[in-house]
Amino acid sequence: MGNQKQTIILFDLDGTLTDSAEGVIRSAQYMQEKMGIKKWADEDLKFIVGPPLMKTFTEDFAMDAETAEIAIGHFRERYTTVGLFENRLYPGIEEMLIALRAKGKRLAVATSKKEETAVRILEHFGVAKYFEVIGGDNRAAGRDNKAKVIAYVLEQMKAEKSDVVMVGDRKFDVEGAHAIGIPCISVEYGYGDRAEFIACGADVIVGTTEEVVELF
């Protein structure tokens, strides 16, 4: 390892820095109840963690855009008050961030989660201080997919693409990074798996936070 030369590292949030599945799943079930939809079991809702909500609700729940907007409103009623704290840092995350900063790396977050919610979560866990920029979904500003969020973070950091790498746990991170023209390191401790990473063309696959540090 140790062959990654980039100085700027972007991190996904859900499934990469925090294990947020419980809060996301409970909030999705709350949405189903509010919408009069049959409530799905926890196991059947694991796929919802990570991708943009609009994509999930229109594609996986087969909602039209107008209905999906209402569903997202119900989801956020619960998530922004209770669900965001049904969450935990993965073991070794703070140690990883400290070690990367000690190596002179500039760190940022690029998440499909609503930006203000991402900031609240990272501040709650005491790790917001390690990141120069926390970028997330902001549909009012036109940031409604991973690639747009990544582009926004790069702009804020005045970064050259050749000096940036993404770290994430799902194919959406790889696809978003590649759409912008940067590589992606996929982590197996989150919600994705090796088969998914290979299929979407992940540049590097690692199993632990320690291995992320060793890459640099």
Q: Say yes or no to pLDDT of 2 above 70.
A: no
Q: Radius of gyration of the chain from Cα atoms?
A: 17
Put simply, whether the predicted model's pTM sits higher than 0.75 gets the answer yes
pLDDT at residue 152 in the model: 96
pLDDT at residue 138 in the model: 86
pLDDT at residue 171 in the model: 94
Are 159 and 207 within one domain?
yes
Are 55 and 94 within one domain?
no
What is the number of alpha carbons within 13 Å of residue 121 lying toward its C-beta?
30
Q: Percentage of the chain with pLDDT > 90?
A: 87
Whether 64 is catalytic is: no
Question: Mean pLDDT throughout 75-79?
Answer: 95
pLDDT at residue 55 in the model: 87
Q: Which of 12, 14, 19, 173 is catalytic?
A: 12
Structural domain containing residue 76: 21-85
- Cα–Cα distance for residue pair 188/206, rounded to 1 Å: 6
Q: Say yes or no to pLDDT of 79 above 80.
A: yes
pLDDT at residue 174 in the model: 97
Q: Say yes or no to pLDDT of 39 above 80.
A: yes
Our measurement of the distance from residue 77's CA atom to the centroid of its chain's CA atoms, rounded to an integer in Å, reads 20
Given 40, 65, 85, the domain boundary residue is: 85
Within the chain, strands assigned E span 8-11, 18-19, 88-89, 106-114, 133-137, 164-168, 184-187, 204-206
Cβ atoms of 14 and 189 closer than 8 Å? no
Tell whether 176 is covered by a domain: yes
Q: Provide the CATH number for the domain around residue 99.
A: 3.40.50.1000
Given 85, 101, 124, the domain boundary residue is: 85
128, amino acid identity? A
Tell whether 3 is covered by a domain: no
Name the band, by pLDDT with cuts 50, 70 and 90, for residue 1. Answer: low
Name the band, by pLDDT with cuts 50, 70 and 90, for residue 139. Answer: confident
Given 85, 102, 128, the domain boundary residue is: 85
Cβ atoms of 110 and 135 closer than 8 Å? yes
Are 166 and 73 within one domain?
no
Q: Mapping DSSP to helix (H, G, I), strand (E, B) and coil, where does residue 134 land?
A: strand
